Structure 1
Amino acid sequence: MTSPCPVVHFEMPYRDAERAKRFYAEAFGWQMQQFGPEMGDYILATTATVDSNAPGAVRGSINGGLFPFKADWPMQQPSVVMGVDDIRAAMARVTAGGGEVMGEPMAIPGVGDYVSFVDTEGNRLSMLQPAMGAAPGQG
């Protein structure tokens, strides 16, 4: 039995970047950081100071991001990302358990290797093997 893999990040699609950034900043106080085309126009959502001693920090909280909605891509829905020590071994466990891995891992510079999968209930989820030196559970 492997040790539990924590949820380390969440993701959601957006159709209008400015509208989405404004909504989450105003409704929930999230800090929204827009990246350019070299990073897929991803928007990083900082929801809380994670596991620090800062005033107001919430232990165990996670941050997330928003990606551009693309009508021709499958499974455009919110999802959670699990942190794994070995992405290839985790992919094998997903397949052995009846899930379906969606493609090959993608290297995200400075973050780690990422791949999406579909569980046995039809939910799209993802997993991330942090890059060497990247802080686990910080995303």
Structure 2
Amino acid sequence: MHQHHKVNYIEMPSRDLNLSKAFFTKVFGWAFVDYGPEYCAFSNGGIDGGFYYADLAISSQSSAPLIILYSNQLETTQTAVLAAGGELIKTIFSFPGGRRFQFKDPAGNEFAVWSE
């Protein structure tokens, strides 16, 4: 159900749509639908969205928003990220309220995963 004035959809760049789809399917169980060669939509990610082909990447160093996913098993998720070709930017660290790590997906986009 769409909610008035709530975040509804997010679009992110990808240098390689096939790598992005394979990575997020393998690690996080997202489902994808292709809409031509330069766009794919995803579902089952907590919020729906899409990847568009671009020679850009999301990075907190360039002041882009940091997309943070949740995990019940942080170490297991970190292992899965690495096994699927992700690159750690910050290993698991504590912060007030929990722990998290940050990584780049194979297309170069930065994300974080947190847990209590």
TM-score by length of 1: 0.39
TM-score by length of 2: 0.46
- Relative to its length, the structure with more strand (as a share) is 2
